[in-house]
Structure 1
Amino acid sequence: MKQMSHIPDENVKSSVDEMYRQYLNIETIEELYRQAVMMSHALGWELSERRHLLPDREGNNVDPLIYPPCHFQELSIEGNLVYQFNYEGTLPLYMKNKPYEDKIRSYYQGAMIEALEGRSVLKFDQAFIYVCHFFSNLQIRDLDNRNRRHLINAIRSAQIIEDDRWEFVEIMDSGYLDPQKRNRIELFITSRENAMNLVKYVRDKMRNNPEN
């Protein structure tokens, strides 16, 4: 009987080598991902711990780059009342870090209340909330990764809505490429029956006057 050779077939050896290289690559990617998650949590903790050291928003020398203000205006669309709030920057991502989340929530609520200072606003019993995300470039971003809860809580704290339960609010998100290459949020609140008019207004505005 002819003795079988123990020399591995070159094709088999090549395939095994390639599988091993792919395995090592996956291991490397997983390790980098773990490190990135750990760094994100560490960064969130450090920011939450040190944010109180930044300038006081109520002081005379507020830095708008550190504490971008929220701008408010009242609109009438098809004869219906609409409140609009503009925030600089993108909404933060979800992060399981309570001190960091508390600071972020405090910023969005405080900035909205400041924007409404001295104004009288009406409360919507049945509200439509339209969150428009404007991005500086076409980098891939998922809207469902953005923590819009901070905006909803700010609206509720400002007593513009009765409550944020599903019986009282309807929410929609849209993303737009910003012509001025700025990351920002335009937040609209109106009555539910005015929802489609509001969405059409924003889309027509972007189509006809993209610089605004």
Structure 2
Amino acid sequence: MESEKKMLFEQLKSLEEMKIYLMSQINKLGGNDAAIKRTSVYPMAKVKPMVINGYPVFQFSYEGALPLYKESDRDYLAMIRHYYFRATHDSYDFSKIDYQFDKSVIIIAQHFENKIIRDLDNRNRKLIQDAIRHTGLIGDDSWWRVWNFDIGFLDPKGNHVQVFVVSQENFEDFMSYLKEEYFHIANIPESTLQEEIFEEYRTEVKRKEKAKVSKDKERLERSSNTKPEDFWG
């Protein structure tokens, strides 16, 4: 059981490493032209300031489901942190926003494509909150200034995450609105150039595998030609 879990987490880590490579290639092909500045992640979040029933709401939309949390793997966590930070900050010019929520609620609405049992309490949510805090939309995220609320919805079109920032005084009204309109206001980032990038990635993987086999063969040949006196005189 433990070995299987370890294998799955290693595969997940490999997927994130692959994603970093794909992001860099997409930048080269112009797939992130919508970014405010050149970024190292893809796809970008979609950011949308709104006015709902007369009060401000800020929406952040992320493609896919939140990745699993693995506290013991620092490299993996660093990749996830980097992705959500850059996907959030590089997708919108927050210097144009002359507004800050005093006491706010961060609502994380996770949309799932099926009813497979999942835990909404994914600790990677904190990485999204940290990224939003650095936009300047909220002040410090102490418990009394920033509340957190999790909700899940079914969306057969695919997995995605919609995050809303609203003031605490308008939270109840917005939740009523969200439960009625969640399907219509979801802003799903599109994965463009996907097939081209994956094909290039597969070619790169094959090249590296071929180079590794060649290097291992050379190392084996060198070791087989080594004489004892080369070490001991």
Q: 1:74 to 1:203 in 2, by over 3 A?
A: same
Task: Check conservation: 2:101, 2:137, Cα contact below 8 A.
Answer: yes
The answer to whether the 8 A contact 1:137-1:181 is kept is no
Q: Which residue of the partner structure matches residue 62 of structure 1?
A: 31
CA distance in 2, matches of 1:102, 1:133: 22
Q: Note if 1:82 corresponds to 2:57.
A: yes
Q: Among 124, 130, 134, which residue is 1:157 paired with? A: 134
Alignment partner, residue 202 of structure 1: 178
Q: TM-score, normalised by structure 2?
A: 0.67
Any unmatched runs of 5+ in structure 2? 34-40, 188-233
Cross-structure match for 1:102: 78
Cα drift, residue 145 of structure 1: 3.4
Bigger radius of gyration:
1
Equivalence for 2:169:
193
How far 1:73 moved relative to its partner?
Answer: 1.1
Structure 1 unaligned blocks of 5 or more: 1-32
Deviating above 4 A after TM superposition, structure 1's stretches of 4 or more consecutive aligned residues are: 47-52, 209-212
> What are the residue-to-residue correspondences of 1:1-212 with 2, within 5 Å?
33-47=1-15, 52-56=20-24, 58-62=27-31, 67-96=42-71, 97-117=73-93, 120-121=96-97, 122-145=99-122, 147-178=124-155, 180-206=156-182
Name the count of aligned residue pairs. Answer: 177
Do 1:48 and 1:99's aligned partners in 2 also have CA atoms closer than 8 Å? no
1:53, 1:210 → 2: CA distance? Answer: 31
Match of 2:230 in 1: none
Call closer, same or farther: CA 1:174–1:193 in 2, change over 3 Å.
same
Deviation at residue 144 of structure 1 after TM alignment: 1.3
Q: How far apart are the structure 2 equivalents of 1:174 and 1:197?
A: 15
**Root-mean-square deviation (Å):** 2.7
Cα offset, 1:61, TM superposition: 3.0
CA gap 1:211/1:73 in 2 versus in 1, 3 angstroms:
closer
Give the deviation of 1:76 after TM superposition: 1.0
Identical-residue share of aligned pairs (%) = 33
